[in-house]
Structure 1
Amino acid sequence: MLDHFATEFTTRYIDTADAEGQPLERLERLAMLVATDERPDAERAVRAWATQSTEVHEVQAQIDRTRIEYLRGLCQQLAATPEDSSQMARLLHLVLIGVQHSNPPVTGEELRVLYAFILRKVLGDDQTLDEERR
């Protein structure tokens, strides 16, 4: 079950995001994939399970490291400094975790808009893709 979760909610996202494009396009594609996934309960359930099981906690920690490293790799090509890329990667990852615990729930469209806002503010309006260029 944990292997399926890691594959479905991390590896598949990364492989799809990496299919083509520049770092910003891949980052925006990843944000769209995450925002449009209609299974947010799976992430919440595994995180809750990780509080009860050392084995699950270790797997979840590895999944988080994989996600943050992938984001950091993309952000390194966009951010001004290595520290900025690390912080940007952590911010994007923590937003995902936070919205999954929000009540009322954050919709996929709200998450997409939030990620677009973060990218605009962190990278500057001139670096992010606008709707006409997609």
Structure 2
Amino acid sequence: MSKRDWLDAGFAVLAEDGARALTVERLCADLGLTKGSFYHHFRGMSGYRTDLLEHFETEYTGRYIAEAERVDAPARDKLARLRSVILADHETEHALEIAMRAWAMQDPEVYQLHQRVDQRRVDYVESLLRDVGEYCDESEPLARLLYLALIGAQQVIPPLPAQDIAEMYAFVLRMATKKEE
């Protein structure tokens, strides 16, 4: 069992039952492993938590950005690629995002992580919008609007399907490029 397997198991616990359920005992039970295996990879629950938060940032922000940047392409194509990668994971990821935000409201370390993650995500989208060139001085509020739409789509019950979010993004981007009459 790898360290990543333990971290992914933590994401599953968070998504299913929230931060309170995240214990060594629960992780061991879910994975069918002993505490010795846990302590082989982590220095207690505190070390696990730190690694889990880093893994969240890497997996659910860094990986998306890296995937969009993987090819040398115009910003518009990178923006479309980013949207596709995010929406492909949307159905499975929304419960984790909700759990992480709930945890952030209870824990200052998680709050700081999520604040950094949110800012990094918005900054990246803004840089792509700015590079597209059609959004002029409105790239920052447009990036925030697109990001808030995603977060809101995850929060409504039931969460919006990925196709609906993609259509909403296309609509917002079309409206942002219309010239005032």
Task: Indicate the TM-score class for this superposition, using the shorter chain for normalisation.
Answer: 0.7 to 0.9
Whichever residue aligns with residue 53 of structure 2, its letter is L
**In 1, are the aligned partners of 2:129 and 2:135 still within 8 Å (CA)?**
no
Aligned to 1:88: 142
**What is the alpha-carbon root mean square deviation over aligned residues?**
1.3
**In 2, are the aligned partners of 1:23 and 1:74 still within 8 Å (CA)?**
yes
The superposition leaves residues 45-101 of structure 1 with CA deviations (integer Å, 9 ceiling, x where unpaired) of 10010000011000000001111111111111234423x011111111111111110
Aligned to 2:77: 25
Aligned to 1:122: 176
The superposition leaves residues 19-48 of structure 1 with CA deviations (integer Å, 9 ceiling, x where unpaired) of 221111111111111111132111111001
**In 2, are the aligned partners of 1:36 and 1:109 still within 8 Å (CA)?**
no
Whichever residue aligns with residue 69 of structure 1, its letter is D
**In 2, are the aligned partners of 1:75 and 1:85 still within 8 Å (CA)?**
yes
1:65 counterpart = 2:65: no
Provide the secondary structure at the position in 1 that maps to 2:155: coil
Q: What stretches of structure 1 of length at least 5 have no aligned partner? A: 125-134
**Alpha-carbon distance in structure 1 between the residues aligned to 2:120 and 2:53:** 14
Q: Which deviates more from structure 2 when the two are superposed, residues 47-56 or residues 24-33?
A: 24-33
**In 2, are the aligned partners of 1:44 and 1:101 still within 8 Å (CA)?**
yes
Q: Which has the larger radius of gyration?
A: 2
Report how far residue 107 of structure 1 moved.
0.8
**Alpha-carbon distance in structure 2 between the residues aligned to 1:43 and 1:104:** 14
- Aligned structure 1 segments of 4 or more residues deviating by more than 4 angstroms: none
Cα distance change on mapping 1:80 and 1:114 into 2, 3 Å: closer
Provide the secondary structure at the position in 1 that maps to 2:159: coil
In the comparison of the two structures, how many residue pairs are matched?
A: 123
Structure with the higher helix share, 1 or 2: 2
**In 2, are the aligned partners of 1:17 and 1:27 still within 8 Å (CA)?**
yes
TM-score (norm 1): 0.85
Higher RCO structure (Cα 8 Å, ≥6 apart): 1
